Amino acid sequence: MNKLIYRSSNTNFNAEFVRVAEQLSHKLTFNTRDEYLVWVKQWKEDYKNLANAIRNNRFVWKHDMAKKPERIAYFKAKLDKAIDVPSTFYTERISALNNQLFADTGTRAYSDWKTIAIYLLLLRKAGKIRAERCYQARKAQEALV
């Protein structure tokens, strides 16, 4: 996981990403299509909230750093249009994802949301790998019957 976060430009991101996702796929527990769809729904909600939180924080930072009145007004307008992120996401879900990240990889992402975003993308890839494995097992079992 650390190789994905702190990578140099000469490392192959895709190969390392798939290797770590394959390892994570063994830790996922869904077995049926319905369980997978519930898991995907939760993943999408988490990723949407994280992306909106990162975007909102970027606008706040740029608004605070802006010097020219037109730039301040521009980022103020962006902040007014920003999608609200539920407060429970900041308090409960981020800490739950951080604990899950630590349990799975041994890495902590205290306030580094980039790490959590990479972890969520890894989980999505791992979920697809797990779902394909379950699908192939189900097809093989049906073929035997």
**pLDDT above 80 (res 8):** no
Say if residues 126 and 25 touch (Cβ distance below 8 Å). yes
pLDDT for 2 equals 57
Cα(133)–Cα(130) distance, rounded to whole angstroms? 5
Separation in Å, CA 107 to CA 12, 52, 55, 63, 104: 20, 23, 24, 31, 8
pLDDT in tens, 29-74: 898 899 999 999 999 999 999 999 999 989 899 999 999 999 999 9
Overall pTM surpassing 0.85 (yes/no): no
- In the chain, what are the domain boundaries? 2-144
